[in-house]
Every structure is written in structure tokens, then in C-alpha cells.
Amino acid sequence: MTKRRKRVLTAIGVVAVIGLVGFLVVQYAIARNGPAVLDTVDRLTAGARDTQMLEKHVFGAAPAQKLAVYGPIEPDSSRPVLIFSHGGSWRAGDPDDYGFVARTFVPEGFVVVLAGYRLNPEVEFPAMLEDTASVVAWTRQNIHRHGGDPDAIFIAGHSAGAYNAVMTALDSQWLAREGLQTEVLAGVIGLAGPYDFYPFDSDSTRASFSGAPDPGTTTQPVAFVRGDAPPMLLMTGEKDTTVKPRNSRVLARQLEAAGGRADLRLFSEMDHYDILVRTASPWSDRQIIDEVRDFALPIASSRQSGREASVPVQGKTR
């Protein structure tokens, strides 16, 4: 073997070791606080993508009761709105760590609202739903100031956040307490969400839901299925062992049986966290991003067209 070949092989080995160490460091950091790491890596590898924070708002006394609005640097108007509720087993998570979600979906045509909610052990069910409904109400009232269309609000979430989104859309009492009907939601997007998880079999579900009266019927989204629910896009990974894919399958099947719309998307090679990681650079997956965009934008356009058609056309005057 020539000296040059040895040097090349040595260099390749060094690069491989550095890459492996870097990968392991990132994996460790993600295990400690995944969203914060994703947010940092996304920002470093892809930049701002013409996205900026437009407003921060506190909607309650608890530190977690906060939201942040993101939109394009060059403002426009009548964009559909994507409210995103973070995961974390209802006991962890901070919307400040999810800027990558905004930087991914603002360029797709949305105004994005990153929403917080009170967490266990300070609170239990239904605090997360009360706070999610409060965010929807604030968004409905204020988002026009940032170019968002209050008649095209979509609510999304990952894991526990997907539960918050879906349950707020199905059980009408939470929005009703804010003086709203569930029709204010143009659609719902759930990523790897738990929708049918009673009896409770994990520490996090027992801690957050066991104190509810008759929890099998009051806490489960599948117990509130109805045909007039907002349209739903339910996405999950087939390799998800944290929140099993059956949750999305069962909810989609029951919604369709009731006459509602449920678009089910299963990704054979993804697990519970992959489906979120794939919304951040450099791991971005157009599959996930396109599914959200192609689900929401036609609904938003249809709502806008219906609104315009409902305005009487004035006859010409002489």
C-alpha cells in the first residue's frame, strides 16, 4: 500500500470517527432536550428563511401560559394560521424551543403560533385543554394584526400536543368556554398523537389524567367522535413504540364512520420522534411538510372563497 493511499484511508477514518462522535453527541443532546437541539441545529444549518417573531403574548399567570407569533419578514395578509402545541408527555416542553416549526411552515404560506400550556405536576386534566382553547381564542381575536386569516385557523401538535389539538377540536366545551364553536377551526393536524389510551398504562398518563371523573369517557378523543368535527390530518410512524400507530388508525376509522374527514398518513420507517425531527433542517422531509401544506391550503382557500361569495355584489349605479 502506498503512503498516499494510507494517508487517504487515515483521513477517511478520522472523518468517520468525528462524524460518529458528532452523531452521538447530537443524539445525547436530543435525549436531554430534543426540541432545543433541533431548534439550534435548524437555525445554524438553514437560517431564518425569511421568518421572524412578530409578537410574544402571556395569556395567564403561570409561566407556561405563553405564545409566540411568527410570520414573514416581508408582511402580507390573509395567510392561514398554524397553531402548534408541543409534546412532552404533558409534563415537559417549552414553545420557545420550537422555532424550527415556524421557520419550516412560514415559508409554506402560514402564520405560525407556537403555544404553551400548563404542565404536570402543577396541574392535571383539563388544564392543557383550557389553555389550548385560550390560545385559539386569542389567535381568533388578534391574528389579523400579523397578516393571519382568523377564518383559516389550523391547530396542530406532536404527541401530547397532538392530543391537545384533537381533543380541543372534538370536545366542544373547551372552546365554548371561550365563547367559540369548534367551527372556528378550519382543520386539525396530529403528529404521533395519543387518542385512545385508556386504561392508562404510563406514569405520565396516570399523573395527568387519573384524577378526572370517569376518565375513560371524559379524557379520550375517541369518545367525542362526531361527523361534523373539523377535518383532520393524522400522521404517525409505523415504528412508533411510544404512542402506538393504532391511536391514529382508530380515530381515523371512527371519524370516517361518523361521516367526518380524517386523512390518515402512515410512514413505515419513522418512529415517534422521527416525524418531528423531519420538520427540522438538515433532516427536513418534504413528505411531512407537503402533507401539512396540501391538507391546509385548499381548505383555507375554500373558506376564503366561501366568505367572498357570501358578500352581496352591489349592482352598478349610473
Residue-wise pLDDT for 50-104, tens only, equals: 999 999 999 999 999 999 999 999 888 899 999 999 999 999 999 999 999 999 9
Phi, psi of 163 (to 5 degrees): -60, -50
Select the highest-mean-pLDDT range: 3-7, 75-79, 251-255: 251-255
Q: Cα separation of 254 and 232, whole Å?
A: 12
Please give the tally of structural domains in the chain: 1
Q: Cα separation of 120 and 211, whole Å?
A: 12
For residue 199, is the peptide bond before it cis, meaning its omega torsion is within 30 degrees of 0? Answer: yes
In a domain, 2, yes or no: no
Q: Cα separation of 29 and 46, whole Å?
A: 19
Which whole number is the average pLDDT over 130-135?
Answer: 98
Among residues 182, 173, 170, 193, the alpha carbon closest in space to that of 272 is found at 193
What's the pLDDT score for residue 4? 65
Q: Cα separation of 309 and 307, whole Å?
A: 5
Q: Do the Cβ atoms of 94 and 66 come closer than 8 Å? A: no
pTM value?
0.88
| CB neighbour list of residue 289: distance below 8 Å, 6 or more residues apart | 104, 105, 108, 279
Cα end-to-end distance, the chain, whole Å: 94
DSSP H/E element including 51: strand 51-58
Which whole number is the average pLDDT over 26-46?
Answer: 79
Calculate what percentage of the chain has a pLDDT beyond 90.
Answer: 83
In a domain, 10, yes or no: no
Among residues 236, 219, 301, the alpha carbon closest in space to that of 274 is found at 236
In a domain, 42, yes or no: no
> How many CB atoms lie under 10 A from the CB of residue 173?
12
Alpha helix (H) residue ranges in 106-185: 127-142, 160-170, 173-176
Give the lowest-confidence range in 197-201, 277-281, 310-314: 310-314
Q: Do the Cβ atoms of 187 and 232 come closer than 8 Å? A: yes
Q: How far is CA 257 from the centre of its chain?
A: 25
Classified as helix, coil or strand, 103 is helix
If you ran DSSP here, which 8-state letter would residue 296 be given? H
Which whole number is the average pLDDT over 225-233?
Answer: 98
What's the pLDDT score for residue 138? 98
Which whole number is the average pLDDT over 180-206?
Answer: 97
In a domain, 184, yes or no: yes
Q: Cα separation of 190 and 296, whole Å?
A: 13
Q: Do the Cβ atoms of 89 and 160 come closer than 8 Å? A: yes
Identify the CATH number of the domain in which residue 241 sits: 3.40.50.1820
In a domain, 32, yes or no: no
In a domain, 79, yes or no: yes
Alpha helix (H) residue ranges in 47-115: 99-105
Whether 315 shows a pLDDT value over 50: the answer reads no
If you ran DSSP here, which 8-state letter would residue 316 be given? P
In a domain, 4, yes or no: no
If you ran DSSP here, which 8-state letter would residue 126 be given? T
DSSP H/E element including 253: helix 246-257
pLDDT classification of 18: cutoffs 50, 70, 90: very low
pLDDT classification of 19: cutoffs 50, 70, 90: very low
Q: Do the Cβ atoms of 82 and 70 come closer than 8 Å? A: no
Angle subtended by helix axes 160-170 and 127-142, to nearest 10: 70
Range of the domain at 90: 49-304
pLDDT classification of 185: cutoffs 50, 70, 90: very high
Classified as helix, coil or strand, 82 is strand
What's the pLDDT score for residue 81? 98
Average pLDDT of the chain is: 90
In a domain, 298, yes or no: yes
